[in-house]
Amino acid sequence: MKVFGKLCGIVLLAILLTACRFVTTTPNDALIRQAIALQLSQTQQELTQKLKLDRPPTWTIERLRVDDRQLLAIDDLPTFYLCGTYDLHLKLTQPIDRHHQPFEVYLQLQREGKTWRLLRPLDTGTELTWKSQLLKPPGYD
């Protein structure tokens, strides 16, 4: 019986150490802001056209609040599903503030553990596939 208890302890320790490897590298607020900014920039052109602006608006993301953080595995890589709210400050002819804007992002840590990708689900009708874009850390070209 003692051998079984030790074996269970070793297996549990191995599981915890494997889980810790994923959990110790989590997306920080700067990375989440970058992912939200990337999503916003992709809708920026549409917004500029709809509002008939001469130049695209600039914005800042403030008061980021993550309400839910789940660890998933997508394509055998650790992926964080994050959702919450942020305040958006748009700089147009007059500043516009939008409070408590909802967001949800999927951030995937790459195999080498140094870079992240923003994943977006694409519904092809038959199965769920993912579009991914590299998030560049500061100083990365």
- Please write the tens of the pLDDT for every residue from 62-100: 999 999 999 999 999 999 999 999 999 988 778 889 999
The pLDDT value given to residue 17: 45
DSSP 57: -
Report the percent of the chain where pLDDT is more than 90. Answer: 49
CA distance 93 to 55: 11
Of the pLDDT bands very low, low, confident and very high (cuts 50, 70, 90), residue 25 is: confident
**Cβ-based neighbours of 42, under 8 Å, separated by 6 or more:** none
**Cβ-based neighbours of 38, under 8 Å, separated by 6 or more:** 118, 133, 135
In 26-127, DSSP assigns E strands to 58-74, 77-91, 95-109, 116-123
For 113, the 3-state DSSP assignment is coil
Please name the amino acid found at residue 91.
Answer: K
The pLDDT value given to residue 2: 58
Half-sphere exposure of 69 (CA within 13 A, CB side): 11
**Beta partners for residue 42, in sequence order:** none
Q: pTM here?
A: 0.73
- For residues 43 and 32, the answer to whether their CB atoms sit within 8 Å is no
CA distance 95 to 48: 15
Query: Domain extents for the chain?
Result: 28-135
